[in-house]
Amino acid sequence: MRLQVHDIRLTDHDVWRSAREAIPVQPGVLVELTAGGRSGFGEASAFMTDRYDSSLDALHAALRRAAPLLRELPADDPEGTYSVLAPVLAGSPFALAALDVAAHDLAARLAAVPLWQRLGAAEPAALRSSFSIGLDEPAVMVRKLKERPDWPVYKVKLARPGDLHILEALREHTDAPFFVDGNCGWEPAATRSALGAMADLGVTLLEQPFPRAMWTEARALKDTSPIPVYADESITGPQDLDACAEAFHGVNLKLMKAGGITPALRMLRAARAAGLGTMLGCMPESSAGVSATAQLGCFVDHLDADSIALLAVDTGAGVVLDDKGGITLPDTPGTGFRPLFRGPAFTVRPATADEARGYGTALSVFRDGTELATVLIRRRPLPGRVPSDAFRQLVGPDGPAAEAAGPEELRALMRGAITRAVADGADTVWLRTGHTGVRQACRAAGFRLLDEVPGGSARGDIPDDDTRADDGTPSSLLVWKADRSA
């Protein structure tokens, strides 16, 4: 399988807020695996980066570790692919999940069947999602509910268990049940005091009120709560299931946190065997991720797959959510997701053939759908080196607005170019530039001067006629080498 990685940037209609954070813009990556003329897609968000090692730099680094393995793996065995990748990406669940989902999607597309069918499920019917109302001023939260009337369930973020006035205001506009999410921000005593009033206001499920570390308090709450309590942050993998069975009535799984479809299905079966209720939710993600989650809807009691309803900018189209929370799966193979590569969600993606100018491989960086700069990627040895398929030279960046590209945009372009080169078989990537901004972006992306690289040449080994840029300024030869010990 061939790997491609596309940087994305999602924005919601409203800034998303919970008791834990506010998210004005959500960066991430769309992962594409290709074989047999078909592509499968998965998604990873740069979300809660410290906890899940999911910064854009970390996601790209993890995907580079997987790329050489993927080239040797068959496209019709995603479960086998997971077994190979899981030890390599043990500390990178979001990257692992993106690859696992893409592998499942690709296998189903190659088999020309929907993903649910390849997974051996009955055809999903009457699937519906809850609608999430992020933390905000009460009037804004009421406005969000009124804009989405007639959904089956509203999942309400509350900063404190005593914020019953928000539930009361919402209750004036709907008879639907409420799920309430504390996002690890509540105190036990205040929670216990509010449970009765919450039940009277139609709260039928309470999600993760306490921090993950408070297992003793969670067990005590389970024993006394009139409302079922579900784990979210407390369930990150199979190793947490036994503790969650003691401390919660159910679990809310996310494919990204679980590491993909393969482990999530195992966890759902184990949760049912332990007598736990089950929910599938989503992280801040686009139609690429939600289309995969919805395909698993028949395996769970509740679906919280509404993140695409919140988006102002999406990566493409797939599963459809109607104005009453009804879910329609695409009548196409795999997850049914179709990327819109030229849309504003994509910040780094492959250039067109015209943009590549005959070099074959090129990446472009975009701002709100407008191309800024392109870098060409070609097989070319380091100066004075024997030609090898392990070398790739970058040419550029240049383009219609390259001078307008900011430091982070140039860094993203360089980072993506490294990943693309590694996916194509390189372990050394190099370029020569006299542009200060490009040098700084390369440094930030992991490039070093040649004489700083283990095993690199001294600067004197570089021909004299290759040491200055076209404008006469001093030119630096910068090199990136794969760390095979990672």
Band of residue 97 on the pLDDT scale cut at 50, 70, 90: very high
Same-domain pairing of 74 and 184:
no
pLDDT at 428: 94
Rounded mean pLDDT of 355-360? Answer: 64
Position 468 pLDDT exceeds 60: no
Position 182 pLDDT exceeds 50: yes
Share of the chain above pLDDT 70, in %: 91
Band of residue 370 on the pLDDT scale cut at 50, 70, 90: confident
346 lies in a domain?
Answer: no
Band of residue 21 on the pLDDT scale cut at 50, 70, 90: low
pLDDT at 25: 85
Band of residue 17 on the pLDDT scale cut at 50, 70, 90: low
Among 166-170, 316-320, 408-412, 465-469, which stretch is predicted with the lowest mean pLDDT? 465-469
Write the CATH number for 151.
3.20.20.120
Rounded mean pLDDT of 48-61? Answer: 93
Write the CATH number for 464.
3.40.630.30
Same-domain pairing of 335 and 364:
no
124 lies in a domain?
Answer: no
pLDDT at 331: 93
pLDDT at 464: 32
87 lies in a domain?
Answer: yes
pLDDT at 125: 86
126 lies in a domain?
Answer: no
Task: Report pLDDT digits (tens) over 256-299.
Answer: 999 999 999 999 999 999 999 999 999 999 999 999 999 999 99
Query: In the listed set 339, 366, 390, which residue is the last one of a domain according to the structure?
Result: 339
Same-domain pairing of 322 and 192:
yes
Task: Output the pTM of the full model.
Answer: 0.92
Same-domain pairing of 444 and 307:
no
Query: In the listed set 283, 309, 339, which residue is the last one of a domain according to the structure?
Result: 339
Band of residue 406 on the pLDDT scale cut at 50, 70, 90: confident
Give the chain's mean pLDDT: 90
486 lies in a domain?
Answer: no
Query: In the listed set 118, 146, 179, which residue is the last one of a domain according to the structure?
Result: 118
Same-domain pairing of 49 and 106:
yes
Residues 130/304, Cβ–Cβ less than 8 Å: yes
59 lies in a domain?
Answer: yes
Rounded mean pLDDT of 454-483? Answer: 56
Task: Report pLDDT digits (tens) over 138-161.
Answer: 999 999 999 999 999 999 999 999
Q: Which domain holds residue 38?
A: 2-118
Among 167-171, 214-218, 247-251, 472-476, which stretch is predicted with the lowest mean pLDDT? 472-476
Selection from 246-250, 365-369, 385-389 with the highest mean pLDDT? 246-250
Same-domain pairing of 178 and 327:
yes
Same-domain pairing of 38 and 106:
yes
Same-domain pairing of 150 and 246:
yes
Same-domain pairing of 77 and 139:
no
344 lies in a domain?
Answer: no
Position 387 pLDDT exceeds 80: no
Among 1-10, 212-221, 321-330, 473-482, which stretch is predicted with the lowest mean pLDDT? 473-482
Write the CATH number for 16.
3.30.390.10
302 lies in a domain?
Answer: yes
Q: How many structural domains comprise the chain?
A: 3
Same-domain pairing of 293 and 359:
no
Same-domain pairing of 69 and 145:
no
Same-domain pairing of 318 and 206:
yes
